[in-house]
Structure 1
Amino acid sequence: MYDLSAGEILRFHQAPGNMTVSTPYVVQVISPIQLLSNQASDAHRCMVSDGERMSLAVIPNKLSARVADETITRFTVLKVKKCSVSKKERQNDTPMLFIVIHDAEILGTVGEKIGNPAKLTEQDDVAAGAPQSFAAAPAAAESPISRPAYQPQYQQPPAQQQPQSHFGGAQSSSSSSFMSRVDDIKPKYSAMGSSAPMHTGAPPSVHPISDLNPYHNKWTIRARVTQKTPIKVWNKPSSQGRLFSVTLLDDSGEIRGTAFTQQVDKLFPLLEAGKVYYISNAQVRMAKQQFSNVNNQYELTFDDNTLVELCLEQANVPQEHYDFIPLGGLEKFQKNQVVDILCVLKDAGEVSEITMRTDDRKMTKRDLTIVDKSGFQVRAALWGTEAETFNVPVDHVIAFKGMRVGDFGGRTLSLPSMGSMTVNPDIPEAHALRGWYDAEGRHMSFQSYRGTGGGGGGGAGGIGSAENFEAQLKTMAQVGAENIGATDNVEFFNLKGTIAFIRSNNLAYPSCPGENCNKKVTEDLSSGQWRCEKCERSWPAPDYRYIFSFNVSDDTGQNWLQCFNEVGELLLGATANEMMELQRVNEVAFGQKLADATFKEYKFRCKAKSETFNEVSRVRISATNAYPIDYVAETARLSRLIDSYN
């Protein structure tokens, strides 16, 4: 039996303010672990006990893999090495205690609850007028860990207990909603001046950005604004307004902050790129990664209560933060994830103009070819002004901040409006890359993600090398057991299996023959023409394209996959037009063609995504590529697998 740190949760409850605790203590998970359904991540929640009291605990997504494989489950005993503790006030009730576990060691799992823990009650609160010092709280005699008295590392400065607006008067407790009414959507600035109020007096206690989470409601950060977007205006039938975003950095990490509508006028003149500020009273929410170039699962939303003060001491806050990813490691990242890249420019294309499919906007684009020490070359796209003004000579080193990963033909990169690039940055990594390129990289042949079969292509479009294929290979049973595709994100993986059945109904759909359209067309029975509503044209005949489902099996089970035109042509050995004509004139030959395609073995590159239809969610798996088995290479792979067990 394990000894829990009795009294620990009570001391957390009686401590003044929020804090980060880095002295280890032992607790037990005493409830089923549940996914936080209102969060856009795989964070979990549960109840934990120190043997005497219980508290709500949050397990962030960096520990979620331990929950998924049931290493952390009900009745697991944890040695918590680092956590954040906060309290949420409740009307006519004792405050709710939250423990966000950042780092923990798993001691083991027992078959039952240890002790008889009780909920925190009003009797557990410190008596009014005689607040107990958290540092003076006696350590429990039965605690298995010898530790010094606690000191709360981050206490809220007294000035923030009753927030005052630097824009005039005390603030209302209600914050602005995302859909605040807008008097005038054009940018306008108040006459309060163009700089933030300067912080005077003693420096407040600050909280590191890396520890911010939705369960800490009182904090102050000291951060540098490293990026600031222009004001963007949206005007939709359902809403209208303005917004701008900043990237905030301290020595623990970075986070994105966004101001909407009414807060734009207040905060846009105050926050300047390159300067350091004290910021408090913003809302911490799950990040919408499709709009962010920051590697943080949370983001800030500025509201009426947000306080911004200019910090005089700026030397100790870093200027920029990079988390460089090698180009050869992009296959580990999903579409639309954001990465930092340090590379050498190998080639720069000309500026071109393209029409966006979503809204027919004209955009300028320039494609770059970049390389690095991983031996890969990747196509990177610049847009708009960045594309038009780009004039960096080839063979120069570039640091890209906030590149967005794409999966067109393998792995690509794109620099969004929030991203940035620095040519020949004065950092050690750039000097090392420059030396490598001059010594050997200039004369190398680089691998591309656009390859097929055994070449490059470990992303959405290609199987990749034998090692990459094996690293992402799943059995049919694993796909279900690991709930692949059950999250909000698209997941890529590899399968090897035999086609057991092909659905012949709805094998293909009639598409528009127009260039780069492929939209479904409908037949006008009166004229015999096929109408495309997107192109607003009629055609004498459609261009059929495959979209069908087929069943693939291996020795562990089976799964249904969906494929589109290119994969369909490979599997059936005929175009969709040929198959639809064959079905019309010779049903027997059509059936034989489908039979000939079954009981053949392939390697499949797959993507899985959860879809909701009629309020029912299900996982759809699509085969984005298929390759016949190379039995010589497959024999070598199986031989290596057998050797690994010896």
Structure 2
Amino acid sequence: MVILPLHLSSLADEQKICRYTVLRIDKCSVTRKLRTSDGAMAAIIIAEADVLDTVAEKIGNPEKVLGSAAGSAIPAPSAPPAPPPAQQQPQQQQQPSFGGSSFMNRVEEAKPAVYGGGGSGAAPIVQPIKDLNPYHNRWTIRARVTQKSAVKTWNKPTSQGRLFSVNLLDESGEIRATAFTQQVDRLYSLFEVGKVYYISNAQVKMARQQFSNVNNQYELTFEDSTTVELCTDNGNVPQEQFNFVALSSLMKFEKGNMVDVLCVLQQVGEATEITPKSGDRKMTKRDLTVVDKSGYQVRTTLWGADATGFELAVPAVVAFKGVRVGDFGGRTLSLPSTGTMTANPDIPEAHMLRGWYDSAGRTMAFQTFDGSGGMGGSGAGGDLRHDAGEVKTMAQVRDENLGGSEEKSDFFTVKGTIAFIRSSSLAYPGCASGDCSKKVTENSSGKWWCEKCQREFAAPAYRYLFSVNVSDYTGQCWLQCFNETGEKLLGCSATEAIRLQGADEAAFAKLIADATFKEFRFRCRARSERFNDNVRVRTSVVGMNAIDYVAEAQRLSALIEAMQ
């Protein structure tokens, strides 16, 4: 059996490796597995190989040397191999032997020659991280620690213990490694971020991507036999690697995707405590506002110790690795426990970004994904600028079944006229605290109670939640508007609109009429929701702009030219 590593699997996907393909194997290892029914099986793990040719038929008359029907005489794993003779010919002069026992002896002898092993006082021969796989356990890597987590504990009905993890980097890639319980005391103090180590004898297994922020299908688990040795010769081991994306491109990523961003810290919010939906414990959070050269600003949330211990002053360049993309209000970012945050990194990209911000970014009006940030005028489409060439008609939204999946949301931009505003249910009574938007209920004493905050208020803070019917020349659809969109559309707070509705019906009717039959560009999120076994598409507005007719004319002109 031949096993290809991840970096060579594309050769098979592209049909460059197929039946009767001739390979030149430059580097490999051979391991032995035992099968109770078929006898022994050897696995050749290819590390480096080149495709030479693909022939029409097999070459020569290959013979099966392991697992034959007759059953080769292969020693059990516990049986020691025969001692080598005192005098041996060079390997290239040895004649091939197809007997099971001699073949497996050569397999065992070949292993150290492929990847090597460190002798006492000598640097071991190392294997690249990209070549690690579960089928080979005799390896040594030389890697830099780029991230080290705090020691965490877990308590379950069936088990309890502690763990910590490190991210390891070499010239070929990254991998995450985790130590559990007994290994925590032995290894935690050995690892220091930024230093390079020789590591061997850890278990390689499939990665649990929900706990990792590195791009590797495998991860390591430290065991009793794992050895860790500080490496002093670390000149060619790279520092932490990033794959930065622009803030303007976040719409291309699904909710929950991990990305790296390089940005300028523009605003720092206060640390606050919130109670999650599970309600079992309170969590500390802090919201940051970050910007970059793409002209966008995004809210980024820190949690726990990252939030309470944050002391960075604005403006500062920050490199985030492994931040999670959210879709609240269009697009947001959140730093999970597996992510990292590096202030003012000493990399060329960071120096260039700081130079741009000092010269031009300080006075720039940044765009947002939720339509609530500074627009600096409508510009070329405002916060929907990145979709300037992708405005869809109502017919396209219907024909493409956007929002038809319960698994993910679809985002799109439409341009249309508000034909009707459903004013009968314009807003709901919300919590009066600044960081909570939950609906409150009136009790018998005339006070308003928030179940989430466990607090009572004299009056609610109303928040918009209403639907509008938007139409274009191809059709119409209903869009759900939230508080930020409502304030922008009606020009007043929801509390003021509700007060006007009860005190002056004529003034309230004029407020609604003034907002009707106006044309806007809407950034929308559509998703199917199930309610009482019925599935319906709910389309919400995450950003809204007045039409910039100069930019719109340029967009239509470009579309016409593209069709000619």
Q: Same fold (TM over 0.5)?
A: yes
Question: 1:501 Cα deviation (Å)?
Answer: 6.0
The aligned residue for residue 364 of structure 2 is 446
Q: CA contact under 8 A between 2:420 and 2:468: conserved in structure 1?
A: yes
Q: Using the alignment, how far apart are the partners of 1:238 and 1:522 within structure 2?
A: 41
1:640 pairs, out of 554, 558, 564, with 558
Q: CA contact under 8 A between 1:510 and 1:542: conserved in structure 2?
A: yes
The residue identity in structure 2 corresponding to 1:625 is: G
The aligned residue for residue 284 of structure 1 is 206
Question: 1:243 Cα deviation (Å)?
Answer: 3.1
Q: Using the alignment, how far apart are the partners of 1:49 and 1:480 within structure 2?
A: 41
Q: Using the alignment, how far apart are the partners of 1:199 and 1:502 within structure 2?
A: 79
Q: How does 1:104-253 map to 2 (within 5 A)?
A: 127=68, 129=72, 203=125, 206=128, 208=130, 218=136, 222=141, 223-234=143-154, 241-253=161-173
2:481 counterpart SS class: strand
The aligned residue for residue 481 of structure 1 is 400
The aligned residue for residue 77 of structure 2 is none
CA 1:87–1:614 in 2, change beyond 3 Å: closer, same or farther?
Answer: farther
CA 1:420–1:303 in 2, change beyond 3 Å: closer, same or farther?
Answer: closer
2:465 counterpart SS class: strand
The aligned residue for residue 320 of structure 1 is 240
**In the alignment, does 2:451 pair up with 1:545?**
no
Question: 1:319 Cα deviation (Å)?
Answer: 2.9
- The C-alpha deviation readout for 1:363-387, integer Å capped at 9, x for no partner, is 58595x7666556677777777767
1:623 pairs, out of 541, 548, 553, with 541
The residue identity in structure 1 corresponding to 2:2 is: A
Q: How does 1:280-429 map to 2 (within 5 A)?
A: 280-288=202-210, 292=212, 294-296=213-215, 298=217, 300=219, 302=221, 307=226, 309-310=228-229, 314-326=234-246, 329=249, 332=252, 337-342=257-262, 352-358=270-276, 361=282, 363=284, 399-402=319-322, 418-420=338-340, 425-429=345-349
Q: How many residues align?
A: 489
- The C-alpha deviation readout for 1:402-437, integer Å capped at 9, x for no partner, is 455677877776666555555665544456557x55
CA 1:457–1:259 in 2, change beyond 3 Å: closer, same or farther?
Answer: farther
2:449 pairs, out of 509, 514, 531, with 531
Q: Using the alignment, how far apart are the partners of 2:225 and 2:393 within structure 1?
A: 51
2:558 counterpart SS class: helix
The residue identity in structure 2 corresponding to 1:602 is: F
2:162 counterpart SS class: strand
2:196 pairs, out of 275, 279, 283, with 275
2:563 counterpart SS class: coil
Q: Using the alignment, how far apart are the partners of 1:611 and 1:91 within structure 2?
A: 51
Q: Mean Cα displacement is larger for which, 613-622 or 506-515?
A: 613-622
Question: 1:645 Cα deviation (Å)?
Answer: 2.3
The aligned residue for residue 103 of structure 1 is none
1:468 pairs, out of 378, 386, 391, with 386
- The C-alpha deviation readout for 1:281-328, integer Å capped at 9, x for no partner, is 33323411xx55x35275636376995554857554323212234455
CA 1:605–1:529 in 2, change beyond 3 Å: closer, same or farther?
Answer: same
1:224 counterpart SS class: strand
Q: Using the alignment, how far apart are the partners of 1:535 and 1:23 within structure 2?
A: 53
Q: Using the alignment, how far apart are the partners of 2:158 and 2:417 within structure 1?
A: 49
Q: CA contact under 8 A between 1:286 and 1:297: conserved in structure 2?
A: no
Q: How does 1:77-116 map to 2 (within 5 A)?
A: none
The aligned residue for residue 148 of structure 1 is none
- The C-alpha deviation readout for 1:131-151, integer Å capped at 9, x for no partner, is 9xxxxxxxxxxxxxxxxxxxx
Question: 1:496 Cα deviation (Å)?
Answer: 2.3
2:388 counterpart SS class: helix
Q: Using the alignment, how far apart are the partners of 2:516 and 2:440 within structure 1?
A: 30
- The C-alpha deviation readout for 1:110-144, integer Å capped at 9, x for no partner, is xxxxxxxxxxxxx999636499xxxxxxxxxxxxx
Question: 1:389 Cα deviation (Å)?
Answer: 7.3
Structure whose CA Rg is larger: 2
Q: CA contact under 8 A between 2:264 and 2:291: conserved in structure 1?
A: yes
2:560 counterpart SS class: helix
CA 1:588–1:335 in 2, change beyond 3 Å: closer, same or farther?
Answer: same
Question: 1:231 Cα deviation (Å)?
Answer: 0.6
User: Normalising to structure 1: TM-score of the pair?
Assistant: 0.55
The residue identity in structure 1 corresponding to 2:130 is: P
